[in-house]
């Protein structure tokens, strides 16, 4: 029988999933998108995950397939070893706080209608770390710094295909979101919340990120100033870690990175004041790289 893995990239808005196998011609099936329903009750969220599992298999139903592993990239804070969500106060998955998702998924596995996943091993992985592994595998560089810009800041530093933590200026947890910055922590500035603060400074209202991007495309001076300030802020926040780690590449992913053309100059300007010339690029596909990173993790 063919061994396949279910890989999911879980966000506050969507769950993205695909089946992976070394026996597939392209290693993975088409990526499917499902509403995350992250604002609902625990029961509804778990039911939604069950639907995602079954729908992915239904779309590619083959009698000789055997689901060997299920890998889930989940945003933090999260106890990845034990499968327990620790998210609260972030506007997503609040009802899962301190819920053991691993045990909930095992209950799903025991249902007769889910027999195809009954014996699958289940793994949880930080979404930013999965993204980093996918991008590092894609580029093949020795040392890389990987950041996802979204609801918060995801960050992972990789050297020789291993996560770096507690050395070369990188915090013990391997991530920088909770490091002191200005009058708070980095996550409050290098995130959708941080961008919103800058928007309010220039516009005095709650312009959305999509509206800001549209105005930047129309060459609106205020929008360009917002992105210029945001790029400088990102540069100031990550510069100390870039200086100590000296990566071969910096890669940005996440929703905000889609506006990179409007904040790259100020970001790179700040970085190059403190460092040598640096290669900075955006991910071609954050979701695909995250799912690929999960599969690389499973393959190990």
**2-119 against 140-284: fold identical:** yes
The CATH class of 2-119 is alpha beta
Domain locations along the chain: 2-119, 140-284
Q: Which residues contact 196 (CB under 8 A, 6 or more apart)?
A: 206
Q: What is the pLDDT of residues 128-174, one digit of tens each?
A: 999 999 999 999 999 999 999 988 899 999 999 999 999 999 999 99
**Range in 130-134, 177-181, 200-204, 234-238 the model is least confident about:** 200-204
Structure tokens at 8: 């999911």
Can you tell me the distance from the alpha carbon of 214 to that of 82, in angstroms, rounded to the nearest whole number? 42
With 80 as the cut, is the pLDDT of residue 193 above it?
yes
Q: How confident is the model at residue 63, as a pLDDT?
A: 67
Contact 150, 255 (CB under 8 A): yes
Domain at 140-284, CATH homologous superfamily: ATPase, nucleotide binding domain (3.30.420.40)
């Amino acid at each position: 029988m063919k061994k396949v893995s279910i890989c999911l990239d879980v966000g506050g808005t969507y769950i993205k999933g695909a089946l992976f196998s070394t026996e597939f011609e392209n290693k993975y099936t088409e990526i499917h998108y499902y509403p995350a329903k992250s604002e609902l009750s625990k029961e509804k969220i778990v039911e939604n995950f069950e639907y995602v599992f079954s729908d992915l298999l239904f779309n590619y139903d083959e009698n000789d397939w055997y689901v060997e592993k299920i890998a889930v990239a989940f945003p933090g804070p999260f106890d990845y070893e034990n499968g327990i969500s620790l998210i609260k106060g972030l506007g997503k998955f609040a009802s899962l706080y301190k819920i053991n998702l691993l045990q909930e998924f095992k209950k799903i596995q025991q249902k007769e209608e889910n027999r195809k996943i009954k014996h699958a091993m289940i793994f949880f992985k930080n979404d930013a770390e999965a993204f980093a592994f996918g991008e590092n595998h894609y580029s093949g560089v020795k040392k890389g710094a990987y950041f996802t810009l979204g609801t918060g800041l995801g960050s992972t530093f990789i050297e020789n295909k291993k996560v770096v933590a507690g050395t070369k200026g990188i915090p013990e947890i391997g991530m920088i979101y909770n490091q002191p910055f200005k009058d708070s922590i980095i996550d409050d500035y290098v995130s959708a919340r941080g961008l919103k603060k800058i928007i309010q400074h220039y516009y005095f209202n709650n312009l959305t990120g999509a509206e800001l991007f549209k105005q930047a495309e129309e060459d609106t001076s205020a929008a360009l100033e917002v992105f210029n300030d945001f790029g400088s802020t990102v540069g100031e926040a990550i510069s100390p870690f870039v200086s100590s780690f000296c990566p071969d590449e910096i890669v940005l992913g996440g929703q905000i990175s889609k506006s990179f053309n409007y904040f790259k100059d100020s970001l790179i300007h700040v970085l190059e004041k403190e460092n040598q010339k640096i290669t900075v690029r955006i991910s071609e596909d954050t979701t695909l790289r995250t799912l690929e990173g999960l599969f690389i993790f499973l393959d190990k």
